Amino acid sequence: NKIKKKILITGGAGFIGSHVVRLFVNKYSEYHIYNLDVLTYAGNLENLSDLNNSKNYTFIKGDITDELFINDLFEDQQFDTIIHLAAESHVDRSIKKPLSFAKTNILGTMVLLNAFKNTWKNSWEDKLFYHISTDEVYGSLSGEGYFLETTPYDPNSPYSASKASSDHFVRAYGETYGMPYIISNCSNNYGPNQFPEKLIPLFINNIIHNKPLPVYGDGKYTRDWLFVIDHALAIDLIFNKGKIHETYNIGGFNEWKNIDLVKLLCKVMDDKLQRDLGTSQKLITHVTDRPGHDLRYAIDASKINKELGWKPTVTFEQGLIKTVDWYLENSIWLSNITSGEYLKYYKNMYLNI
C-alpha cells in the first residue's frame, strides 16, 4: 500500500527500454514499474534478469496493438504514467516491411493513448503520457545547422514517417482531450543490450567473427551518437522536471561520419582483441546505399541542457569502450541472439556482400 504511483513502461525488454526499466525500478522503490512488451525479435527478458526479485517490478507480455487486451489492462491497473518506447525500430526493416511499422508505431500508440484517455477521462492531475521518439522525424540536413524542437517534420523512411505520425497523434490527444504529454526526440543510441542489426553491435559482432563490415555508400553520412544510459538519465529527468505539452531534443553533441566511426571502432576492437592495428579495418566493405538515406542528422540539445541541466555523462570514446567491453564480456547473450532467426535475417539483408 506504500506504492504511490503506477508507471507503465512499454517496450521495456528492448534496448533502450531495458535501461529505463532498470533505472526506474532501482531508483523508485515507492513506484511500481510495469514493463509491457510483446517480445518481438528485439525484446529479450535476459536484458532484465537482474530485476527478477524486485518487489516493485512486474513484467506483462502483451501487444500494444491489441485493443481489447490493452483496454482491459488499463481498466484493471489505472496506470498514472505511461513511458512509451515499444516500437518497430530498425530503418532497414521498415524499407522491407513498412506496414508492420505503421501497425505497431502508429496504431499501437493510438491504442495506448485511447486507453489512457478512457482511464482518466478529464481528471488529468498528476498524470503523464511520455512518448519516446527519434530525431529522424526531422528528415535530413544537407549542410550546416541543427534540428531544433521547432524544426518542421520531414520524415523520409517508413520508420521515421511512422514515428512522426505517432508524435502527431500524441500532440493531438493533448490538444483535443487535454491529455498531459511530453515528447522527446533523441539521436542514435548505442551501448549494452542493443540488438546486433544496428551499426555498432553488428560491427562488433562481425569483427569478432572476421566477417565483412558493410558500410552504406561512401560512408560520409553523419549521425549524432548518444550512450544509452545517458538517454535513460535524460528520460528520468524529463519524467520528473519536463514541462507538460513540451518537446525536448536529446543528443550527444557528438557527430560522426559513418566511415570515421567505423574506423574508430576498428581501432578499439584491434586493441581489445590484441590484434595488429589495422586488422579490423581490412574488413570494411562498401555496399549499395540504402534508398532514401538521410545525409546528416544533428540535434541541438541546448533546450534540455539549459532548462533541465542535462548533459551526457560519458564521452563517445568512453562510451564506445564500455560498449565493446560489454559485448566481449557477454558473448553468451550475443551468441544466443545471433543464431536461428537472426542468421536468416542477416543473410537476407546482406546477401550482396
Tell me the catalytic residues. Answer: 135-136, 159
From candidates 7, 8, 9, 11, binder to ligand NAD by CB under 6 A: 11
Q: Which is nearer to ligand NAD, 31 or 195 (CB)?
A: 195
Using DSSP, state whether 210 is helix, strand or coil. Answer: coil
Q: Which position among 7, 21, 40, 256 is part of the footprint of ligand NAD (CB under 6 A)? A: 40
* Sole binder of ligand NAD in the list 38, 183, 204, 213 (CB under 6 A): 38
* Full DSSP string of 154-198: ---SHHHHHHHHHHHHHHHHHHHH---EEEEEE-EEESTT--TTS
**Binding window for ligand NAD (CB under 6 A); candidates: 5-13, 214-222, 318-326, 331-339:** 5-13
Q: Is the alpha carbon torsion for 151, 262, 229, 205 positive or negative?
A: positive
Cβ distance to ligand NAD smaller for residue 85 or 324: 85
In this chain, which of 183, 186, 208, 238 binds ligand NAD, going by CB under 6 A? 186
Q: Which residue is nearest to ligand NAD (CB)?
A: 14
Provide the minimum distance between the beta carbon of 206 and ligand NAD in the complex, in angstroms, as a whole number: 19
The residue among 186, 179, 189 whose CA lies nearest residue 304 is: 186
Tell me the HSE value of 69 on the side-chain side, using a 13 A CA sphere.
11
From residue 326, how far is each of 21, 54, 119, 162, 332 by CA, in Å?
19, 23, 41, 32, 11
Q: Does 132 bind ligand NAD (CB under 6 A)?
A: yes
CA dihedral 55, 56, 60, 65 (to 10 degrees): 180
Q: Which helix (H) or strand (E) holds 269?
A: helix 258-272
Nearer to ligand NAD, 89 or 157 (CB): 89
Nearest to 267 by CA among 280, 255, 282, 250: 280
Of 10 and 280, nearer to ligand NAD (C-beta) is 10
Residue 151 binding ligand NAD, by CB under 6 A: no
- For residues 85-104, which are near ligand NAD according to CB under 6 A? 85-89, 104
Q: Is 128 in the site for ligand NAD (CB under 6 A)?
A: no
Name the one range near ligand NAD by CB under 6 A: 83-91, 122-130, 241-249, 337-345: 83-91
Strand stretches in 38-115, DSSP E: 57-61, 81-84
Contacts with ligand NAD in 189-208 (CB under 6 A)?
189, 195
Q: What gap in Å lies between CA 237 and CA 257, rounded to an integer?
A: 29
Among 7, 16, 21, 304, binds ligand NAD (CB under 6 A): 16
Largest CA distance in the chain: 64
Does residue 39 touch ligand NAD according to CB under 6 A? Answer: yes
Q: Which is nearer to ligand NAD, 30 or 341 (CB)?
A: 341
**What contacts 224, CB < 8 A, 6 or more positions away?**
135, 187, 188, 251, 252, 253, 254, 255, 256, 297, 298, 299
Determine the interface stretch with ligand NAD among 8-16, 114-122, 170-178, 287-295 (rule: CB under 6 A): 8-16
Piece of the chain touching ligand NAD by CB under 6 A; list 31-39, 200-208, 233-241, 273-281: 31-39
Phi and psi for 127 in degrees, rounded to 5? -110, 155
What are the DSSP calls for 213-235, one per residue? EEEETTS--EEEEEEHHHHHHHH
- Which one of the spans 13-21, 121-129, 233-241, 330-338 is the region binding ligand NAD (CB under 6 A)? 13-21
Q: Which residues bind ligand NAD (CB under 6 A)?
A: 10-11, 13-17, 37-40, 42-43, 63-65, 85-89, 104, 108, 132-134, 163, 186, 188-189, 195
